[in-house]
Amino acid sequence: MKDLKNAGKFYAHYLRPYWLEFLITTILIAISTWAIAVAPTYMGRAIEELTVYVQQWANPATRAQASFTAFNHTLAIFVLLYLIDASSILISSLLLSKVSGYSTGTMRVGLFRKMQRMKVQYFDSHSDGDILSRFTSDLDNIFNAMNQALIEIFLSGAQFIGIIWMMFTQNATLAWITMASTPVAIGLAAFVMHQASVSVDRQQDDIGRLNGYINEQITGQKMLITNGLQQESVAGFQTYNAAVRKSNLRGQIWSGILNPLLMGLSLLNTAIVIFAGSWLALNGSLSQGAALALVVVFVNYAQQYYQPIVQLTSLFNMIQLAITGARRITEVREQPDEVDPKNGRTLDGLKHELVIDNVHFSYVPGKEILHGVTIHVEKGEMVALVGPTGSGKTTVMNLMNRFYDVDSGSITFDGVDVRDFKLASLRQNVGIVLQDPQLFSGTIRDNIRFGDPEADQNRVEAAAKQANIHDFIMSLPDGYDTFVSDEQSVFSAGQKQLMSIARTILTDPRLLILDEATSNVDTVTEAKIQAAMDNVIQGRTSFVIAHRLKTILNADKIVVLRDGKIIEEGNHEQLLAQNGFYAELYHNQMVFE
């Protein structure tokens, strides 16, 4: 119910701009319902007029009067009514097609815009697949529902009201009798749908487990083959497959039963109406002819009466998916935005020093990651952060350009807290090179000038040269116009890393944060990347998060983090002399003869 209410709010928000379209659609559908309801009477009249014509024609006395005029006239009205019906439905379908296209378009762009504003925390705490599926399957479900269900809801609703109205104008007693079974039908439908959704949930769990098994096994196929485990894998598969078959059967039956059940009920209802009608005809106050005509009319109504209900229940799944989609998108919309201070200051380079002062930080409340970290960095210094996985190195980096904010303590540029700067200004001054060099689809040029799309070729080339990647780019047939896609890249991890360094060089940041690549790069390539990094570091204040010590031997200061605390600090020689954690790490990584 809560979902339904929220979904209502969600759709009201996105559909409000289209109130005029909805108004016109409502009017048009009302017109079409009227036309459809009235048209059969003209058909009846045409046949009646034809009968009259035949009778007049058959009688020599009146043969001269027999004329087709009335018949043709009535038939023309009949055609006209269906033309009105068809054009009303056409226009309202066109309007609703526009509404569903435009409103889902607004949702999609809105979701993207929201994504750009949200805190990094959200992305770190949700899987990419989950967020992405909100763009794909959830928006898809919403679009499908709008595209197909919206017009059906209008039509079925109008049809339902129209039939009830027509029935009551003809005979109230029979109208009540026709409608009497409605609660039973709706109750039965609700029961079956509930059973279906329970079984479908269970079935989804089993399918999830089966898919998990298939995924795990096939992804690990190399291991299965080298250990000769294919037969065992097939045997294990059978259990999951059998479970899916069992629960799926229930789900399939419950959801498949609904339609025949409602059709049967409609037939049953027709029988009841016939009983009641013929009872009225035989025992009632009506004349036999009138009663007979009523029975004929009501048999028609009884058969049509359930149609809208059947239609709507067949849309049930679709609507349910759209409600879920609305919930999942609303979840994103309700996430807090990054805090950009009002009247924030503009940061213009680092003049004296950057101070990380007694910083405490936790990603999850109660689970502190940094326990009072203090680091002083003079302008122009290179500081290296070293420590085992989970020691908090990357966390320190996350705080400097405010991907996250400190719990207590502060980070200051020349005495001004980072939280007092305009977010954009802070980030323009702090350049980062990430471990995983995410490139974007587009040309190499577009990627290098990512931070400044206005940059000209000279600046792009200059940056590429500093990053030692220019020669490689020129060796490609399309040079800087070579297309990069992150999916199936022809570039090696090392080449991508160099491009991402060029990308950072181009923006000429005052403070640099370099998160070193850990894997996928051999030590020779790493040395090349190191040379490029050295170019960038020159003349800039920089932080290097080091995984391989070879690259930081020349740092002005090496800070060793362990479990969120600084345990050693100094330059390479000093730390080696201490013969502590750093020295051990160094001996682990380096080759000694």
Partner 1 sequence: MKVLVPYIKKYRWDVIWSILAIFVVAFATLWQPHLLQVIMNAIMKNDKQTVWTNGLYLIGLAIIGIVGGIINTIYSARVALGVATDLRADEYAKIQSLAYADIEKFSSSNLVVRMTNDINQVQQIVMGFFQQVTRIPILFIGAVILAIVTLPELWWVIAVMMALLLGVSLFSFSRMGKYFGRMQQLIEKVNTLARENLMGMRVVKSFVQGANQTKNFAESSDEMRDVSVKIGNLFALLMPAFFLIANLAIALSIWLIGQNITSHPSNLAAITSFINYLMQILFAIINESFMLTFASRALVSLRRIHEVMATKPSMTFVSGPHRDLDGAVEFDDVTFTYPGDDKPTIRDIGFAVKPGEMIGIVGATGSGKTTLAQLIPRLFDPDTGIVKVGGHDVRAVTEADLRQTVGFVLQRSTLFSGTIAENLQQGHPNADLASMKWAAQIAQSAEFIERLPHTYHAEVEERSSNFSGGQKQRLSITRGVIGQPKILILDDATSALDARSEKLVQEALAHELKNTTTIIIAEKISSIIKADRILVLDDGRLVGSGTHLELVRHNDVYREIYATQKALEEGV
Q: Which of residues 37-76 bind partner 1 (CB under 8 A)?
A: 39, 43, 46-47, 50-51, 53-54, 57-58, 68, 71-72, 75
Q: Does 180 bind partner 1 (CB under 8 A)?
A: no
Residues 522 and 534: beta-carbon distance below 8 Å: no
Distance CA 133, CA 139 (A): 8
User: Within 254-273, which residues bind partner 1 (CB under 8 A)?
Assistant: 256-257, 259-261, 263-265, 267-268, 270-271
Q: Does 97 bind partner 1 (CB under 8 A)?
A: yes
Nearest Cα residue to 549 out of 530, 534, 535, 531: 530
The β-bridge partners of 561 are 566
CB of 339 to partner 1, least distance (A): 13
Q: Does 316 bind partner 1 (CB under 8 A)?
A: no
Distance CA 441, CA 489 (A): 10
Residues 101 and 76: beta-carbon distance below 8 Å: no
Identify which range of 174-182, 225-233, 379-387, 463-471 contacts partner 1 by CB under 8 A. Answer: 225-233
Q: Among residues 493, 565, 567, 571, which is the contact residue for partner 1, using CB under 8 A?
A: 493
Q: Does 159 bind partner 1 (CB under 8 A)?
A: no
* Integer CA distances (angstroms), 155 to 88, 262, 293, 499, 583, in order: 11, 19, 27, 57, 78
User: Within 537-576, which residues bind partner 1 (CB under 8 A)?
Assistant: 550, 553, 572, 576
Q: Among residues 173, 239, 287, 523, which is the contact residue for partner 1, using CB under 8 A?
A: 523
Distance CA 384, CA 542 (A): 8
Nearer to partner 1, 43 or 172 (CB): 43
Residues 134 and 332: beta-carbon distance below 8 Å: yes
Distance CA 110, CA 362 (A): 30
Q: Among residues 331, 481, 486, 563, which is the contact residue for partner 1, using CB under 8 A?
A: 486
Q: Does 476 bind partner 1 (CB under 8 A)?
A: no
Q: Among residues 8, 105, 187, 580, which is the contact residue for partner 1, using CB under 8 A?
A: 105
Nearer to partner 1, 4 or 223 (CB): 223
Nearer to partner 1, 39 or 532 (CB): 39
DSSP type of residue 146? I
Distance CA 181, CA 273 (A): 11
Nearer to partner 1, 10 or 450 (CB): 450
Query: In 3-state terms, what secondary structure has residue 554?
Result: coil
Distance CA 161, CA 167 (A): 10
User: Within 413-442, which residues bind partner 1 (CB under 8 A)?
Assistant: 424, 427-428, 430-432, 434, 438-441
Number of Cβ atoms within 10 Å of the Cβ of 199: 19
Q: Among residues 87, 304, 412, 535, which is the contact residue for partner 1, using CB under 8 A?
A: 87
CB of 422 to partner 1, least distance (A): 10
Nearest Cα residue to 100 out of 151, 155, 147, 148: 147
Q: Among residues 62, 125, 211, 346, which is the contact residue for partner 1, using CB under 8 A?
A: 211
Q: Does 382 bind partner 1 (CB under 8 A)?
A: no
Q: Does 224 bind partner 1 (CB under 8 A)?
A: yes
By rule CB under 8 A, what count of residues binds partner 1?
Answer: 154
Residues 224 and 233: beta-carbon distance below 8 Å: yes
CB of 96 to partner 1, least distance (A): 8
Q: Does 132 bind partner 1 (CB under 8 A)?
A: yes
Nearest Cα residue to 501 out of 540, 558, 475: 540
Distance CA 238, CA 325 (A): 33
CB of 108 to partner 1, least distance (A): 5
Q: Does 248 bind partner 1 (CB under 8 A)?
A: yes
